[in-house]
Amino acid sequence: MKSSVKTLILGLGNELLSDDAVGILAARALRERLKDKADVVESALSGMALLDLFLGYERAIIIDAVKTGQSPPGTIYELTPSDLSTVLAPSPHYAGLPELIATATALKLDFPKVIKIFAMEVEDPYTIGGKLSSAVAQAFHELVQRVEGQITHWLAPSPQT
């Protein structure tokens, strides 16, 4: 039974670039498991090009790779848009989620009100044709489980008070 609240799971990345594929691969792993609970989309787009993908959804989960160097590869961060800083970019192609939200708000677009980001610290997002690094591959199942757990949490009935 499909949820009445429209939910998007957006896996980002480039499957040709080793660890950068983790968001796309997680979306693929979740597609069949969550087919009646959320729409699962894969994309290699970035910046303002992502805006249309969010329209019409009430909630969204973004799955992506990050390389901060602040944590070991395989670390999974759970973030919200308020955890992100504004991108000072020379072009809309490099706009981040805060800019997308600001644009959607200014244009009064039907953009998700609730957004959760699952970002995995990666080791190698650059090798063309490379497979997932060992640490990312080992943490992959946990990433998929955590996203699925978030969907389950969102769909759980609210306690009556």
Q: How many CB atoms lie within 10 A of CB 86?
A: 11
Residue 60 is assigned to a structural domain of this protein: yes
Place of tokens 């957006």: 10
Residue 2 is assigned to a structural domain of this protein: no
pTM: 0.92
Residue 160 is assigned to a structural domain of this protein: no
Q: What is the domain range of residue 144?
A: 7-155
Domain CATH code at residue 47: 3.40.50.1450
pLDDT reported for residue 3: 56
Residue 126 is assigned to a structural domain of this protein: yes
CA–CA dist 125, 20 (Å, integer): 4
pLDDT reported for residue 1: 46
Residue 1 is assigned to a structural domain of this protein: no
Residue 161 is assigned to a structural domain of this protein: no
Residue 103 is assigned to a structural domain of this protein: yes
Instruction: Report the chain (161 residues): mean pLDDT per 10 consecutive residues.
Output: 79 96 98 95 94 97 95 97 73 76 93 97 94 97 98 85 47
CB 146 within 8 A of CB 32: no
Residue environment code for 88-114, b if the CB has 16+ CB neighbours within 10 A, otherwise e:
eeeeeeebbbebbbeebeeeeeebbee
The DSSP letter of residue 58 is S
Residue 33 is assigned to a structural domain of this protein: yes
Number of domains composing the chain: 1
Taking phi first (over 0 means left), then psi (-120 to 50 degrees means alpha), and beta for anything else, what does residue 96 get?
beta
